[in-house]
Each structure stands twice: as structure tokens, then as C-alpha cells.
Amino acid sequence: MIPKAGGSVGGSAGWVVVIAFAAAASVLFLSVVQAVRDRRPMDAQGAANADRVEVYQERRPLEVPLDVPLLENVLSATDAVFHDGDWFVLDARAAQVHRLDSAGTLLGSFGRRGRGPGEFGALPAAVAAHGDSIVVTERTSSQLHLYSPEGAVLATRLVRLDACLLAEIHDLASSPLGLLLLVRCRNDGMRTETRVVLEAVDGFNRTVAARLPQPDGPVVLDALTPPILSLHPEGFVFGSAQDTCLGVYRLDGEAIESVCHDWLAPVATPREFIREMRSTLAARTNIRWTLPEQFYPIMEVFVTPNGRWIYRVLASDQPESYELIAPGRQDSFRLPVPRATYAFVHEGTALLGWDDLEGVRFTTYALEGR
């Protein structure tokens, strides 16, 4: 996700520039996760109170592995989903979806900018595989586009979001009960509610989890910590890396547990970014705001069917890059795959990508046994 968040996943610009643009309309919310219990995703050989893992280092050079092919028609990798043996990569810069085989070879592309069926009139934000369809959502128009895996346009429809003056869809995921959408709804100044909305197969939309804005006190900007939505074997994961734990919910909205990431060392908020935000919001004298002094560098979470948690964490600010971490034994936090500009996980496979002056380079890595 474009740092949604996914967040998107980064683009060609540095991550500080991207999040600074998003910060003017973003806020940090109090968690409403009421979990039955807290836990840390460690295996039997791990230690819940192990020393915190340092992953973020500034100005680390990014080295692209040798012999990774260049795809000249691909400009970015905003989001990606694995379906029926292939990867479908959402390229927001090109306004296209690229179909790659399991080895990272380009099989074809579909979608384009425009106002017609299957065309993107606003920034495409996320992609999911839902049944036999590939679904793409736009960030600000509340539109969903459905395609066949071959790229044929199946439908374009609006998502009904009641009681939401200004809505942004940041992510989506497929569940047995329907599509899950991660929505930010701004109704009053800079205070924003984050919802997980289930677009059920029965045609009704209902909120199954929410993070409510702080009613009093200063607005806490959350540009450094995009909201997180991920599928889970028992439902879905929802929350923010600004908090110490993420909530796990059933599809009916029942909170199951909270899974904590305080084994990961937080990152200090860059002073330069704080100065930029003060300058940007200096005219908003009617709003009291603040920035967190630190944040956890978690951009996305992938939970495999067997319950393994894999985190995509921000590893460096120049250029924007990510590492994959799977908490477990104390000697295996970092998965032995290269640091990359883009990183997505499906079960035991990672799709990694690197920006190039003429396109993007992709390759896959097997994660089983790592």
C-alpha cells in the first residue's frame, strides 16, 4: 500500500516526502482493541522479553541481487496479491495491474487511467483476489474495480460508506464472508476514525472494528504509522504500529487477542520531519496537534495459514526500503532475504522488488525453513 502503507509500499520518492504529504490529513487514534489476552509471536525457543531487535538504520545503500530481470513496463509496486499460481502487482504510478508468474516473469498487464469501466479515475490503492476476481480499490473515490485474472473488466461499483464526510480506502482483503476494507473517515477537522468495513455477500456493509479519534486534547498525527489490515486464520488483524500491540478479530468483530511487537526497537521521529510539519500546519491555529516522539517501523503484517507472523519493517530512509522479520528463535528474527524497495508475502513465498531507472526488478524467495 502507498504509505497508507503498504502504505503503501514505497515508490520512487523517499518515504519522508511521502508521509509528509499524507500527514496534513492524518491523525493518530486511541486503540479500541479489547483483547482477551496479550502475547508476543515467539515460538517455544524464543523469549518474550528478549532484547529489542534493531532494524532501522539511516542512509544504508541498497544493493540489488545479481541477475534479477528488469521489467521496463512496471513503474512501482503499490500492493500485490497471489492468486492461482501468479502474482498480481498493483502499479499506482502506471495505473495498471501486472500479472507475474511464480518466478517473477511478466505475463501481461491491465487497467489504465480514465473514467470508463475498469479505468482508474483516482489513485489506485490496493489489490485483492476475491473468488475468481481480481479487485482493485481507488483511494478517494470509494470505487471497486473487478477484473478476471486475464484482465477482462467484470464490474465497477461504489462502496457505500455511511456517516463519512471524507472517506479514503487504504487497503482491502478477501474473507469467506466478503471483502474487508480498511477505511479512514474524516468528519470533524483533522480527527479521523479508522474502520474495518465488511462488504458482505448479502449486500450489506457493516463496520466490524474501529479506532476512534481522541475527543479531547491535541490531535496526534500518525503519518509515520499507517493503519494495518491483514488476514488471519481466525479472521483479521487490525491496528496501528504506533501501539504496542495489534488486535486479532473474528469476522463478526469479536476481539480474540492482541499480539505485541515490543520486541522490536522503536525509531525516533526525525527532527527534520517535525520541523516540516510545524511549518506545514502553522496556519492551522484552530487545531492543537502533536507528533509521537517515536514509532515502530512496521508497515505491514502477513499471517500465514499456519499462524506464522511475518512483519514488513522499514529498514532505512534513503532509499526507502524494507526487511522481513519473522519473530521466533532469538537467532532468526531477520529472514535471510535481501532488503528491498517492495516486499510482499504469500504463505511460504516472498516477492521482492527494486526500483530501477528504467523499471522495476522482481524476484521471489522461498521462506520455508528460513
- DSSP readout, 134-149? EEEEESSS-EEEEE-T
Instruction: Report residue 367 as a C-alpha cell.
Output: 521462506
pLDDT at position 14 is: 40
Amino acid symbol at 104: G
Q: pLDDT tens, 120-147?
A: 999 999 999 999 999 999 999 989 999 9
Residue 199 confidence (pLDDT) above 70? yes
The number of residues making up the chain comes to 370
- Mean pLDDT of the chain, nearest integer: 83
Domains of the chain: residue spans and CATH = 15-41+72-295 (2.120.10)
CA distance 247 to 259: 6
The mean per-residue pLDDT over the stretch 315-329 comes to 85
Residue 331 confidence (pLDDT) above 70? no
pLDDT at position 58 is: 79
Residue 202 confidence (pLDDT) above 80? no
The mean per-residue pLDDT over the stretch 225-243 comes to 93
Sign of CA dihedral 173, 115, 100, 79: negative
Please return the burial class of 208, using the count of CB atoms within 10 Å of its CB with bins 0-12, 13-18 and 19+: buried
Q: pLDDT tens, 338-364?
A: 999 999 999 999 999 999 999 999 999
